[in-house]
Homo-oligomer: A and B are copies of this chain.
Amino acid sequence: MQSRPRIPEATVARLAVYLRVLSSLADGGRGTVSSGELASAAGVNPAGLRKDLSHLGPCGTRGVGYEVATLRDRIAGVLGMETAHACVLVGLGNLGSALAGYGGFGSRGFEFVGLFDASPARVGQEVGGRVVRPMEELDEVVTATRATIGVIATPAEVAQRVCDRLTSAGVRSILNFAPVALTAPAGVDVRQVDLSVELQVLAFLDKQRGPAATVLTPAGGMA
C-alpha cells in the first residue's frame, strides 16, 4: 500500500490547493488536465505535483493526463472530505465574525455547529446565520455534535483556557488565531495562524531585498 504509510504534511497542504483548482476545472467542464497545467494553476513545480500525487497511487493516464473529476474525488477522499466536519468557533470579535461568515469553509465540507463567546453582549446575536451561545454550553454542544475541530479567535489572554476547555470536551484538532503558543495534550493537533507574523516576514524580506525601495523607479519605463 502506498497511500497509508504516511503523506507528508506539506503534500497534504498542497493537495488541498490542487483540489480547489480541480473543482474549478470540473465546474468549467474540463475533462482532463496535464500535470504542467495543473501545477501552473496551483503555483507549484510540475515534478513536485506529480510526486505529491504519487502518494495516493497511480491516478493518471500516461500520454493523456489526469481525469479531472476522478482526481478531484480521489483527493477529496484522501483529505477526508466525503464526510462533513463539524467545527466550533470560539471568540466572535472582528476576526471570529469574519470566519463565521466565510463561505470558503462551508463549501468544503466544514460546518460551524456552534459559535461561542464569553461576552454577554455578543451572546444571542446572529452571526453568519447562527446564534452566538455562551461559553457554558460549549461542552454540551461539542459532545452532542461530535465536533472534532475547534477554532480559536479569542484574545491571546484567554486562548489557553479556551484550548483546555475544547480539548477536555473532546475536540482533537485546533486552529488557533490567537497570537500565543498553545499547550495541548498529546493526540491533539494544533495549527497556528499568526497574521502579524506573516506581515513581519514580508517586512523583513522587503528590508533585505532593497533598502532603497523608494528610489527603485528613478526613470520608470513602465507601460
Contact = CB atoms under 8 A, between A and B. Distances in A.
Interface of A: 7, 9, 12-13, 16-17, 19-20, 41-43, 78-81, 85, 87, 93-95, 97-99, 101-102, 104-105, 108-110, 139-140, 143-144, 146, 148-149, 168, 170, 172-175, 179, 181-183, 187, 189, 191-210, 213-214, 216-217, 220, 222-223
Contact of A205 (B101, B183, B189, B192): B189
Contacts of A139: 223
Contacts of A19: 200
A10 to B, nearest CB: 10
A78 to B, nearest CB: 7
B79 A172 contact: no
Contacts of A179: 20, 104
Given A16-B196, A16-B197, A197-B17, A206 B140 contact: no
Contact of A206 (B80, B105, B197, B204): B80
A149 B108 contact: no
8 contacts: A19-B200, A20-B196, A94-B98, A143-B223, A149-B202, A172-B209, A172-B210, A189-B205
A204 B149 contact: no
Contact of A209 (B187, B192, B194, B202): B187
Contact of A181 (B42, B102, B110, B203): B42
A201 B209 CA distance: 32
A184 B135 CA distance: 44
Given A85-B206, A99-B195, A193-B198, 10 more contacts: A12-B200, A13-B201, A87-B199, A94-B97, A102-B195, A140-B223, A143-B223, A146-B214, A173-B202, A193-B195
Contacts of A209: 172, 187, 189
A196 B43 CA distance: 17
A205 B9 CA distance: 9
Nearest to A108: B196
Given A41-B181, A206-B173, A200 B95 contact: no
A104 B217 contact: no
A223 B183 CA distance: 18
